[in-house]
Every structure is written in C-alpha cells, then in structure tokens.
Amino acid sequence: MGGYQNYTGVQYLKTIRVLCNLQTVFIFFKSGISVYVRRSTCACVFYEHGVYMCMHLCVFRHKNQTHSMTIFLRFLVTIIIVIIIIIIIIIILTTTIVIVIFVVVVHNIIIIIIIIIIIIIIVIIIIVTIIIIIVIVIMSVVIIAFIILITVVVAVVVFLFNPTLPTTTSSSSSSSSPSSST
C-alpha cells in the first residue's frame, strides 16, 4: 500500500514528510518536469510516460531535499514578519527620541504636534509599503505555481493524445541513473 511509481528510471522509496493541502508538487529533473505523488495519500490519475495529476500537494523529502513551495512560503513569511517587527521597534525608538528632544528643546506645543503627525504619516507609509511588497511576493509565487500547473496539464494532454511518445518502460530502461539508490 502506498509507495512510489517508477518512471524516468528513478524510483522514490523513502517518504519522510507528507503534507496534503494545496494542489500539486513538482520535482525538476534533467529530463524535464515530473510530478510525484503517494497513492495512499493523494487521489491521482496515472498517464503514460510517468505523468501524475493530483488533487493535493504532497510534499516528499528524498536524499535530504524537500521539494515544497509551502515550506518556502512559510520561510518567506517568517522573514517578512521579523523584518516588520524590527522596523516597528526602530520607528518607535526614533519617534520617542525625537519627541523627547523636541519637548526639551522646543516648548511650542503646535510644533511638537505637527512633528508627531508627520512621524505617524511616515509610519503608515512604511507599513503600507511592506504590506504591498508582501502581496507582490506572494502573488508572484502563486503565478509561478499556476504557470507550472498549466505546463503539466498541457503535458498530460500531449501524452494522452500522442501515442507515438515513448512509454514508461522504454524510458525507464534508457534513463536509469545511479541516483536511484538510497
């Protein structure tokens, strides 16, 4: 039960981590794009020449390499949150120092209020800019995933309607490599 299908001469035997919450996982080889799934976890359809279309994202780690966009996004969001926290701390410290200096040096309340308003506007602009950058990064990753998904759909259609393509057995005998050993 479970296990991996053997295509393009490489058999994946070891599953360390499985996450199923998005759509597909893509592993890039020298021979092209292959989509790998575990039958006991994902609902998939098998076509000739080793093409799988899956209903979930299954994350596998093989030879200490995890091929997952989910892990990349998690790492990216963590970095962005840390950067936002650091920027907010710097802004709060700078604002406090500026206000203290102006309260000590300048005794005009109107000037102090204007400076506080300017600082608040600058903080809002910085926060909005960071949010826009986050949205652009996430959207770019989603667009890349969508392009890869379209590529795989086109490959499936080509494999289905072109019977002259080599089958899995012929491709596995011609492209077997020593990397299949675990």
CA pair distance 43, 86, nearest whole angstrom: 43
Which residues span the domain enclosing 120? 70-140
> Which residues in the chain land under pLDDT 70?
1-77, 106-107, 138, 140-142, 144-146, 148-149, 152-182
Selection from 50, 54, 62 nearest residue 7 by Cα: 50
CB atoms within 10 A of CB 67: 15
* Number of domains present in the structure of the chain: 1
- As given in the structure block, the two tokens for residue 3 are 């296990």
Based on C-alpha coordinates, what's the Rg of the chain? 26
- Residue 109: per-residue pLDDT: 74
**Structural domain includes residue 60:** no
Cβ contact 92:119 at 8 Å: no
| pLDDT for residue 162 | 55
Q: Is residue 93 part of a domain?
A: yes
Specify which residues 54 forms β-bridges with: 44
